[in-house]
Amino acid sequence: MTTLSTGDLAAQHETARADYAALVERGLSLDLTRGKPAPEQLDLAGALLTLPGDTYRSADGTDLRNYGGLHGLPEVRALFSGFLQVPVDQLIALGNSSLELMHDALVHSMLSPLPGAERRWVDEPAVAFLCPVPGYDRHFALCQRFGIEMIPVPMTADGPDMDVVEDLVRTDGRIKGIWCVPKYSNPDGAIYSDETVRRLASMPTAAPDFRIFWDNAYAVHHLTDTEYEIADLLALAAEHGNADRPFIFGSTSKITFAGGGVSFFGSSPANLKWLLALVAKRTIGPDKINQLRHAALLKDADGVRAHMRAHRELLKPKFDAVDRILTEQLDGTGLAHWGKPKGGYFVSLDVLEGCARRVVSLAAGAGIALTPAGATYPNGNDPQDRNIRIAPTFATLAEVEGAIEGLAICVRLAATEKFTA
Protein backbone atom coordinates (compact mmCIF):
# COMPACT_ATOMS: atom_id res chain seq x y z
CA MET A 1 0.00 0.00 0.00
CA THR A 2 2.77 2.42 0.80
CA THR A 3 6.51 2.56 0.49
CA LEU A 4 6.83 4.30 3.80
CA SER A 5 8.81 2.03 6.10
CA THR A 6 8.14 2.22 9.82
CA GLY A 7 11.75 3.13 10.33
CA ASP A 8 11.71 6.52 8.69
CA LEU A 9 7.98 7.19 9.24
CA ALA A 10 8.46 9.48 12.17
CA ALA A 11 11.08 11.44 10.24
CA GLN A 12 8.84 11.71 7.20
CA HIS A 13 5.96 12.86 9.38
CA GLU A 14 8.16 15.56 10.87
CA THR A 15 9.23 16.69 7.41
CA ALA A 16 5.64 16.79 6.24
CA ARG A 17 4.62 18.79 9.32
CA ALA A 18 7.38 21.29 8.74
CA ASP A 19 6.55 21.58 5.05
CA TYR A 20 2.91 22.11 5.91
CA ALA A 21 3.73 24.78 8.50
CA ALA A 22 5.79 26.59 5.86
CA LEU A 23 2.90 26.23 3.41
CA VAL A 24 0.42 27.77 5.84
CA GLU A 25 2.92 30.52 6.46
CA ARG A 26 2.76 31.48 2.78
CA GLY A 27 -0.86 32.59 3.26
CA LEU A 28 -2.06 31.31 -0.10
CA SER A 29 -5.56 31.93 -1.44
CA LEU A 30 -6.08 29.52 -4.32
CA ASP A 31 -9.23 27.87 -5.65
CA LEU A 32 -9.37 24.61 -7.58
CA THR A 33 -12.99 23.81 -6.73
CA ARG A 34 -15.02 24.07 -9.88
CA GLY A 35 -14.68 23.29 -13.55
CA LYS A 36 -14.88 26.84 -14.81
CA PRO A 37 -13.11 28.17 -17.89
CA ALA A 38 -10.40 30.77 -17.30
CA PRO A 39 -10.91 34.35 -18.54
CA GLU A 40 -8.42 33.74 -21.40
CA GLN A 41 -10.63 30.89 -22.58
CA LEU A 42 -13.70 33.13 -22.50
CA ASP A 43 -11.75 35.70 -24.52
CA LEU A 44 -11.61 33.17 -27.38
CA ALA A 45 -15.35 33.73 -27.83
CA GLY A 46 -15.11 37.49 -27.38
CA ALA A 47 -16.75 38.10 -30.76
CA LEU A 48 -20.05 36.98 -29.20
CA LEU A 49 -20.13 40.38 -27.50
CA THR A 50 -20.88 42.11 -30.81
CA LEU A 51 -22.49 39.27 -32.77
CA PRO A 52 -24.73 38.62 -34.64
CA GLY A 53 -24.10 42.16 -35.93
CA ASP A 54 -26.51 43.37 -38.57
CA THR A 55 -28.32 40.11 -39.22
CA TYR A 56 -31.13 38.47 -37.33
CA ARG A 57 -32.37 35.93 -39.83
CA SER A 58 -31.76 32.21 -40.15
CA ALA A 59 -30.60 30.74 -43.44
CA ASP A 60 -34.26 30.10 -44.31
CA GLY A 61 -35.15 33.76 -43.74
CA THR A 62 -36.89 33.43 -40.37
CA ASP A 63 -36.80 36.52 -38.14
CA LEU A 64 -35.07 35.02 -35.12
CA ARG A 65 -35.88 37.98 -32.88
CA ASN A 66 -39.50 36.96 -32.56
CA TYR A 67 -41.26 34.08 -30.80
CA GLY A 68 -41.18 30.55 -32.18
CA GLY A 69 -38.73 27.95 -33.35
CA LEU A 70 -39.20 25.36 -30.63
CA HIS A 71 -36.48 23.09 -32.09
CA GLY A 72 -33.88 25.84 -32.08
CA LEU A 73 -31.87 27.28 -34.95
CA PRO A 74 -31.23 24.66 -37.66
CA GLU A 75 -27.72 26.01 -38.33
CA VAL A 76 -26.50 25.56 -34.75
CA ARG A 77 -28.13 22.11 -34.55
CA ALA A 78 -26.30 21.12 -37.75
CA LEU A 79 -23.06 22.47 -36.28
CA PHE A 80 -23.16 20.10 -33.30
CA SER A 81 -24.98 17.16 -34.85
CA GLY A 82 -21.78 15.35 -35.78
CA PHE A 83 -19.93 16.06 -32.55
CA LEU A 84 -22.87 14.84 -30.44
CA GLN A 85 -23.57 11.90 -32.76
CA VAL A 86 -27.23 12.80 -33.18
CA PRO A 87 -28.93 13.27 -36.58
CA VAL A 88 -29.84 16.94 -36.94
CA ASP A 89 -33.58 16.23 -37.10
CA GLN A 90 -33.32 14.43 -33.75
CA LEU A 91 -31.31 17.21 -32.11
CA ILE A 92 -32.83 20.34 -30.56
CA ALA A 93 -31.00 23.45 -29.36
CA LEU A 94 -32.17 25.23 -26.23
CA GLY A 95 -31.01 27.60 -23.51
CA ASN A 96 -27.71 28.22 -21.78
CA SER A 97 -27.34 25.03 -19.75
CA SER A 98 -27.49 21.29 -20.37
CA LEU A 99 -27.94 20.80 -16.60
CA GLU A 100 -31.35 22.44 -17.06
CA LEU A 101 -32.18 19.92 -19.76
CA MET A 102 -31.25 16.99 -17.53
CA HIS A 103 -33.31 18.50 -14.70
CA ASP A 104 -36.27 19.00 -17.00
CA ALA A 105 -35.96 15.53 -18.54
CA LEU A 106 -36.31 14.19 -14.99
CA VAL A 107 -39.23 16.53 -14.25
CA HIS A 108 -41.07 15.42 -17.35
CA SER A 109 -40.34 11.73 -16.60
CA MET A 110 -41.66 12.25 -13.07
CA LEU A 111 -44.87 13.93 -14.24
CA SER A 112 -45.67 12.35 -17.64
CA PRO A 113 -45.23 8.72 -18.71
CA LEU A 114 -42.20 8.25 -20.95
CA PRO A 115 -42.59 6.34 -24.22
CA GLY A 116 -42.66 2.69 -23.12
CA ALA A 117 -43.43 3.52 -19.48
CA GLU A 118 -46.20 1.87 -17.50
CA ARG A 119 -46.71 5.01 -15.46
CA ARG A 120 -45.10 8.34 -14.61
CA TRP A 121 -42.19 8.04 -12.20
CA VAL A 122 -43.95 9.96 -9.44
CA ASP A 123 -46.43 7.08 -9.32
CA GLU A 124 -43.73 4.40 -9.04
CA PRO A 125 -43.18 2.93 -5.56
CA ALA A 126 -39.48 3.76 -5.98
CA VAL A 127 -37.14 5.08 -8.66
CA ALA A 128 -33.40 4.46 -8.70
CA PHE A 129 -30.51 5.53 -10.92
CA LEU A 130 -27.13 3.92 -11.38
CA CYS A 131 -24.33 6.34 -10.54
CA PRO A 132 -20.88 5.38 -11.83
CA VAL A 133 -18.38 6.55 -9.20
CA PRO A 134 -16.46 8.71 -8.99
CA GLY A 135 -18.93 10.94 -10.84
CA TYR A 136 -20.41 14.42 -11.16
CA ASP A 137 -21.91 15.96 -8.03
CA ARG A 138 -24.57 17.92 -9.90
CA HIS A 139 -25.98 14.68 -11.35
CA PHE A 140 -26.26 13.32 -7.84
CA ALA A 141 -27.89 16.56 -6.61
CA LEU A 142 -30.62 16.11 -9.22
CA CYS A 143 -31.34 12.60 -7.97
CA GLN A 144 -31.49 13.88 -4.41
CA ARG A 145 -33.85 16.68 -5.41
CA PHE A 146 -36.32 14.25 -7.00
CA GLY A 147 -36.04 11.54 -4.34
CA ILE A 148 -34.32 9.15 -6.74
CA GLU A 149 -32.27 6.48 -5.00
CA MET A 150 -28.63 6.39 -6.13
CA ILE A 151 -26.88 3.08 -6.63
CA PRO A 152 -23.10 3.48 -7.04
CA VAL A 153 -21.33 1.45 -9.73
CA PRO A 154 -17.54 1.40 -9.98
CA MET A 155 -15.88 3.17 -12.89
CA THR A 156 -13.11 1.51 -14.87
CA ALA A 157 -10.81 3.00 -17.50
CA ASP A 158 -13.38 1.85 -20.08
CA GLY A 159 -16.43 3.34 -18.36
CA PRO A 160 -18.75 1.85 -15.75
CA ASP A 161 -18.16 -1.77 -14.75
CA MET A 162 -20.60 -3.31 -17.20
CA ASP A 163 -20.83 -6.67 -15.45
CA VAL A 164 -22.25 -4.87 -12.42
CA VAL A 165 -24.47 -2.60 -14.53
CA GLU A 166 -25.96 -5.45 -16.58
CA ASP A 167 -26.60 -7.49 -13.47
CA LEU A 168 -28.45 -4.70 -11.69
CA VAL A 169 -30.63 -3.44 -14.53
CA ARG A 170 -31.65 -6.94 -15.65
CA THR A 171 -33.43 -7.72 -12.41
CA ASP A 172 -34.28 -4.43 -10.66
CA GLY A 173 -37.20 -2.64 -12.29
CA ARG A 174 -36.80 0.32 -9.95
CA ILE A 175 -33.65 1.25 -11.88
CA LYS A 176 -34.86 3.75 -14.46
CA GLY A 177 -31.60 5.30 -15.53
CA ILE A 178 -27.85 5.67 -15.43
CA TRP A 179 -25.69 8.81 -15.47
CA CYS A 180 -22.89 8.70 -18.02
CA VAL A 181 -20.21 11.22 -18.99
CA PRO A 182 -18.91 9.07 -21.82
CA LYS A 183 -15.89 11.01 -23.01
CA TYR A 184 -13.22 12.49 -20.71
CA SER A 185 -15.47 11.57 -17.81
CA ASN A 186 -15.94 13.86 -14.82
CA PRO A 187 -13.75 13.46 -12.81
CA ASP A 188 -11.62 10.52 -13.92
CA GLY A 189 -11.18 11.30 -17.60
CA ALA A 190 -12.32 7.84 -18.71
CA ILE A 191 -13.24 7.35 -22.35
CA TYR A 192 -15.99 4.76 -22.68
CA SER A 193 -14.82 1.87 -24.83
CA ASP A 194 -16.80 0.76 -27.86
CA GLU A 195 -17.63 -2.41 -25.97
CA THR A 196 -19.02 -0.45 -23.00
CA VAL A 197 -21.21 1.63 -25.30
CA ARG A 198 -22.41 -1.46 -27.13
CA ARG A 199 -23.30 -3.21 -23.87
CA LEU A 200 -25.14 -0.11 -22.59
CA ALA A 201 -27.08 0.03 -25.85
CA SER A 202 -27.99 -3.64 -25.93
CA MET A 203 -28.36 -4.83 -22.33
CA PRO A 204 -31.76 -6.11 -21.21
CA THR A 205 -33.40 -3.95 -18.54
CA ALA A 206 -36.24 -4.86 -16.19
CA ALA A 207 -37.63 -1.31 -16.47
CA PRO A 208 -39.35 -0.78 -19.82
CA ASP A 209 -38.66 2.95 -19.53
CA PHE A 210 -34.94 2.76 -18.69
CA ARG A 211 -33.00 5.79 -19.93
CA ILE A 212 -29.28 6.49 -20.33
CA PHE A 213 -28.57 10.10 -19.37
CA TRP A 214 -25.63 10.59 -21.74
CA ASP A 215 -24.00 13.84 -20.62
CA ASN A 216 -21.51 14.32 -23.42
CA ALA A 217 -20.17 17.49 -21.82
CA TYR A 218 -16.64 17.13 -23.16
CA ALA A 219 -17.29 15.82 -26.68
CA VAL A 220 -14.78 18.23 -28.26
CA HIS A 221 -12.64 19.10 -25.24
CA HIS A 222 -9.43 17.35 -26.18
CA LEU A 223 -6.16 17.84 -24.30
CA THR A 224 -4.00 15.88 -26.75
CA ASP A 225 -3.49 15.78 -30.51
CA THR A 226 -5.85 12.83 -30.70
CA GLU A 227 -9.51 13.78 -31.02
CA TYR A 228 -10.87 10.67 -29.33
CA GLU A 229 -14.12 9.31 -30.64
CA ILE A 230 -16.62 7.12 -28.87
CA ALA A 231 -19.13 4.69 -30.29
CA ASP A 232 -22.50 6.04 -31.47
CA LEU A 233 -24.87 5.23 -28.62
CA LEU A 234 -28.01 6.43 -30.36
CA ALA A 235 -27.36 4.32 -33.48
CA LEU A 236 -26.34 1.25 -31.46
CA ALA A 237 -29.40 1.49 -29.22
CA ALA A 238 -31.66 1.64 -32.27
CA GLU A 239 -29.84 -1.33 -33.84
CA HIS A 240 -30.50 -3.36 -30.71
CA GLY A 241 -34.18 -2.45 -30.52
CA ASN A 242 -33.68 0.08 -27.73
CA ALA A 243 -34.08 3.25 -29.78
CA ASP A 244 -35.74 5.17 -26.95
CA ARG A 245 -33.05 4.40 -24.39
CA PRO A 246 -30.58 7.30 -24.88
CA PHE A 247 -31.13 10.88 -23.73
CA ILE A 248 -28.14 12.78 -25.13
CA PHE A 249 -27.05 16.11 -23.66
CA GLY A 250 -24.42 18.61 -24.71
CA SER A 251 -23.65 22.31 -24.53
CA THR A 252 -21.24 25.04 -25.52
CA SER A 253 -20.75 26.04 -21.88
CA LYS A 254 -17.06 25.13 -21.97
CA ILE A 255 -16.67 26.11 -25.62
CA THR A 256 -17.87 29.73 -25.71
CA PHE A 257 -19.26 31.57 -22.64
CA ALA A 258 -19.91 29.29 -19.66
CA GLY A 259 -22.92 31.37 -18.65
CA GLY A 260 -24.15 32.40 -22.10
CA GLY A 261 -24.00 29.37 -24.35
CA VAL A 262 -26.34 26.97 -26.09
CA SER A 263 -27.44 23.54 -24.88
CA PHE A 264 -28.54 20.50 -26.86
CA PHE A 265 -30.81 17.52 -26.41
CA GLY A 266 -30.89 14.56 -28.78
CA SER A 267 -32.87 11.35 -28.73
CA SER A 268 -35.14 9.02 -30.68
CA PRO A 269 -38.05 10.45 -32.68
CA ALA A 270 -40.51 9.06 -30.11
CA ASN A 271 -38.68 10.62 -27.16
CA LEU A 272 -38.32 13.92 -29.00
CA LYS A 273 -42.03 14.02 -29.80
CA TRP A 274 -42.81 13.28 -26.15
CA LEU A 275 -40.43 15.95 -24.89
CA LEU A 276 -41.39 18.67 -27.37
CA ALA A 277 -45.09 18.29 -26.56
CA LEU A 278 -44.17 19.05 -22.93
CA VAL A 279 -41.60 21.74 -23.74
CA ALA A 280 -44.21 23.48 -25.88
CA LYS A 281 -46.27 24.11 -22.74
CA ARG A 282 -43.25 25.71 -21.08
CA THR A 283 -41.89 28.01 -23.76
CA ILE A 284 -42.64 29.46 -27.17
CA GLY A 285 -39.01 28.91 -28.13
CA PRO A 286 -35.40 29.33 -27.01
CA ASP A 287 -33.18 32.39 -27.48
CA LYS A 288 -32.48 31.88 -31.18
CA ILE A 289 -30.48 35.10 -31.50
CA ASN A 290 -27.91 33.65 -29.11
CA GLN A 291 -27.89 30.49 -31.20
CA LEU A 292 -27.27 32.65 -34.28
CA ARG A 293 -24.36 34.30 -32.46
CA HIS A 294 -22.88 30.86 -31.92
CA ALA A 295 -23.35 29.76 -35.51
CA ALA A 296 -21.71 33.00 -36.66
CA LEU A 297 -18.78 32.58 -34.26
CA LEU A 298 -18.02 28.91 -34.83
CA LYS A 299 -19.16 28.67 -38.47
CA ASP A 300 -18.69 24.95 -39.10
CA ALA A 301 -17.21 21.76 -37.69
CA ASP A 302 -13.68 22.85 -38.58
CA GLY A 303 -14.37 26.13 -36.83
CA VAL A 304 -15.33 24.24 -33.67
CA ARG A 305 -12.16 22.12 -33.94
CA ALA A 306 -9.94 25.17 -34.38
CA HIS A 307 -11.66 26.87 -31.46
CA MET A 308 -11.10 23.84 -29.25
CA ARG A 309 -7.42 23.68 -30.23
CA ALA A 310 -7.10 27.25 -28.95
CA HIS A 311 -8.66 26.12 -25.65
CA ARG A 312 -6.20 23.23 -25.53
CA GLU A 313 -3.24 25.60 -25.89
CA LEU A 314 -4.44 27.40 -22.77
CA LEU A 315 -5.40 24.30 -20.77
CA LYS A 316 -2.64 21.83 -21.54
CA PRO A 317 0.09 23.63 -19.57
CA LYS A 318 -2.13 23.55 -16.47
CA PHE A 319 -2.89 19.85 -16.76
CA ASP A 320 0.77 19.17 -17.50
CA ALA A 321 1.73 21.10 -14.37
CA VAL A 322 -0.63 19.02 -12.23
CA ASP A 323 0.88 15.80 -13.51
CA ARG A 324 4.46 17.05 -13.36
CA ILE A 325 4.25 18.27 -9.77
CA LEU A 326 2.31 15.25 -8.50
CA THR A 327 4.92 13.04 -10.20
CA GLU A 328 7.81 15.00 -8.70
CA GLN A 329 6.32 14.98 -5.22
CA LEU A 330 4.46 11.71 -4.94
CA ASP A 331 5.43 9.28 -7.71
CA GLY A 332 6.67 6.00 -6.29
CA THR A 333 5.53 6.82 -2.74
CA GLY A 334 2.33 4.80 -3.05
CA LEU A 335 0.54 7.63 -1.28
CA ALA A 336 -1.52 8.69 -4.27
CA HIS A 337 -2.65 7.74 -7.74
CA TRP A 338 -4.03 10.17 -10.26
CA GLY A 339 -5.39 10.15 -13.77
CA LYS A 340 -3.75 11.53 -16.88
CA PRO A 341 -6.82 12.75 -18.71
CA LYS A 342 -6.77 13.02 -22.50
CA GLY A 343 -9.45 15.69 -22.34
CA GLY A 344 -12.12 17.25 -20.19
CA TYR A 345 -11.81 19.48 -17.15
CA PHE A 346 -10.58 17.42 -14.22
CA VAL A 347 -7.87 15.31 -12.69
CA SER A 348 -9.05 12.60 -10.34
CA LEU A 349 -6.72 12.03 -7.41
CA ASP A 350 -6.94 8.99 -5.15
CA VAL A 351 -5.15 9.24 -1.83
CA LEU A 352 -4.78 6.63 0.90
CA GLU A 353 -8.01 5.20 2.21
CA GLY A 354 -9.54 7.41 4.89
CA CYS A 355 -7.38 10.40 3.97
CA ALA A 356 -9.34 12.42 1.38
CA ARG A 357 -11.33 14.50 3.87
CA ARG A 358 -8.21 15.19 5.87
CA VAL A 359 -6.27 16.27 2.76
CA VAL A 360 -9.01 18.68 1.69
CA SER A 361 -9.23 20.04 5.22
CA LEU A 362 -5.46 20.51 5.46
CA ALA A 363 -5.46 22.24 2.06
CA ALA A 364 -8.24 24.58 3.20
CA GLY A 365 -6.16 25.40 6.26
CA ALA A 366 -3.38 26.44 3.89
CA GLY A 367 -5.67 28.60 1.76
CA ILE A 368 -6.14 26.05 -1.03
CA ALA A 369 -9.83 25.45 -1.80
CA LEU A 370 -10.57 22.02 -3.25
CA THR A 371 -13.87 20.36 -4.20
CA PRO A 372 -15.17 18.80 -0.94
CA ALA A 373 -14.00 15.22 -0.46
CA GLY A 374 -16.89 12.87 -1.17
CA ALA A 375 -18.44 15.21 -3.75
CA THR A 376 -17.74 12.68 -6.47
CA TYR A 377 -19.95 10.11 -4.70
CA PRO A 378 -23.74 9.99 -4.17
CA ASN A 379 -24.83 11.89 -1.06
CA GLY A 380 -21.25 13.13 -0.67
CA ASN A 381 -20.29 9.77 0.74
CA ASP A 382 -17.06 8.27 -0.57
CA PRO A 383 -17.06 5.03 1.45
CA GLN A 384 -13.29 4.73 1.24
CA ASP A 385 -12.72 8.47 1.71
CA ARG A 386 -10.12 8.39 -1.03
CA ASN A 387 -11.14 10.48 -4.04
CA ILE A 388 -10.37 14.16 -4.64
CA ARG A 389 -11.37 16.05 -7.78
CA ILE A 390 -8.83 18.58 -9.01
CA ALA A 391 -10.15 21.35 -11.27
CA PRO A 392 -7.15 23.16 -12.74
CA THR A 393 -8.81 25.16 -15.52
CA PHE A 394 -9.85 28.45 -13.93
CA ALA A 395 -6.72 29.29 -11.95
CA THR A 396 -3.61 30.73 -13.59
CA LEU A 397 -0.72 28.39 -14.33
CA ALA A 398 1.25 29.84 -11.40
CA GLU A 399 -1.74 29.35 -9.11
CA VAL A 400 -2.17 25.76 -10.27
CA GLU A 401 1.49 25.09 -9.60
CA GLY A 402 1.32 26.62 -6.14
CA ALA A 403 -1.89 24.77 -5.29
CA ILE A 404 -0.64 21.36 -6.46
CA GLU A 405 2.66 21.77 -4.64
CA GLY A 406 0.66 22.55 -1.51
CA LEU A 407 -1.72 19.68 -2.18
CA ALA A 408 1.19 17.24 -2.39
CA ILE A 409 2.37 18.40 1.02
CA CYS A 410 -1.13 17.86 2.42
CA VAL A 411 -1.24 14.35 0.91
CA ARG A 412 2.08 13.48 2.58
CA LEU A 413 1.03 14.94 5.91
CA ALA A 414 -2.34 13.17 5.94
CA ALA A 415 -0.64 9.88 5.05
CA THR A 416 2.03 10.12 7.72
CA GLU A 417 -0.63 11.15 10.24
CA LYS A 418 -2.56 8.02 9.31
CA PHE A 419 0.39 5.76 9.96
CA THR A 420 1.59 7.49 13.10
CA ALA A 421 -1.91 7.77 14.60
* Binding status of residue 52 toward a copy of itself by CB under 8 A: yes
* Binding status of residue 145 toward a copy of itself by CB under 8 A: yes
**Alpha carbon distance 83, 232 (integer Å):** 10
* Binding status of residue 283 toward a copy of itself by CB under 8 A: yes
* Binding status of residue 42 toward a copy of itself by CB under 8 A: yes
Q: How far is CA 47 from CA 19, 42, 43, 293, 337, in A?
A: 46, 10, 8, 9, 41
Given 117, 258, 368, 403, the residue binding a copy of itself (CB under 8 A) = 258
* Binding status of residue 48 toward a copy of itself by CB under 8 A: yes
Nearest to 102 by CA among 178, 153, 199: 178
CB of 75 to a copy of itself, least distance (A): 15
* Binding status of residue 53 toward a copy of itself by CB under 8 A: yes
Scanning residues 186 to 225, which ones bind a copy of itself (CB under 8 A)? none
**Alpha carbon distance 91, 81 (integer Å):** 7
- Show the CA angle centred on residue 229, arms to residues 228 and 230, nearest 5°: 130
* Binding status of residue 141 toward a copy of itself by CB under 8 A: yes
* Binding status of residue 289 toward a copy of itself by CB under 8 A: yes
H helix intervals, 226-300: 233-239, 269-282, 288-298
> Across the strands, what pairs with 349?
338, 388
Given 15, 146, 232, 240, the residue binding a copy of itself (CB under 8 A) = 146
Radius of gyration of the chain (CA): 23
Q: CB–CB of 345/254 below 8 Å?
A: yes
Q: Which stretch binds a copy of itself (CB under 8 A): 95-103, 230-238, 316-324, 349-357?
A: 95-103
**Alpha carbon distance 98, 138 (integer Å):** 11
**Alpha carbon distance 236, 268 (integer Å):** 12
Q: Which stretch binds a copy of itself (CB under 8 A): 10-18, 107-115, 225-233, 362-370?
A: 107-115
* Binding status of residue 284 toward a copy of itself by CB under 8 A: yes
**Alpha carbon distance 127, 124 (integer Å):** 7
Scanning residues 108 to 127, which ones bind a copy of itself (CB under 8 A)? 110-112, 122
Binding mask 376-395 for a copy of itself (x = CB under 8 A): --------------------
Given 36, 183, 211, 307, the residue binding a copy of itself (CB under 8 A) = 36
CB of 21 to a copy of itself, least distance (A): 34
Q: For a copy of itself, which is the closer residue by CB, 192 or 257?
A: 257
Number of residues that bind a copy of itself (CB under 8 A): 56
Q: CB–CB of 102/249 below 8 Å?
A: yes
* Binding status of residue 260 toward a copy of itself by CB under 8 A: yes
Q: Which stretch binds a copy of itself (CB under 8 A): 21-29, 166-174, 206-214, 257-265?
A: 257-265
253 Cβ contact list (under 8 Å, min separation 6): 96, 97, 98, 217, 259, 261, 263
* Binding status of residue 369 toward a copy of itself by CB under 8 A: no
Backbone φ/ψ region at 72: left (φ over 0), alpha (ψ -120 to 50), beta? left
Burial class of 217 by CB neighbour count within 10 A (0 to 12, 13 to 18, 19+): buried
Nearest to 256 by CA among 227, 297, 286, 205: 297
**Alpha carbon distance 174, 350 (integer Å):** 31
Given 188, 209, 287, 405, the residue binding a copy of itself (CB under 8 A) = 287
CB of 191 to a copy of itself, least distance (A): 25
CB of 370 to a copy of itself, least distance (A): 18
Q: For a copy of itself, which is the closer residue by CB, 144 or 333?
A: 144
Footprint of a copy of itself on this chain (CB under 8 A)? 34, 36-37, 39, 42, 45, 48-56, 63-69, 95-97, 99-100, 103-104, 107, 110-112, 122, 138, 141-142, 144-146, 253, 257-260, 278, 281-290
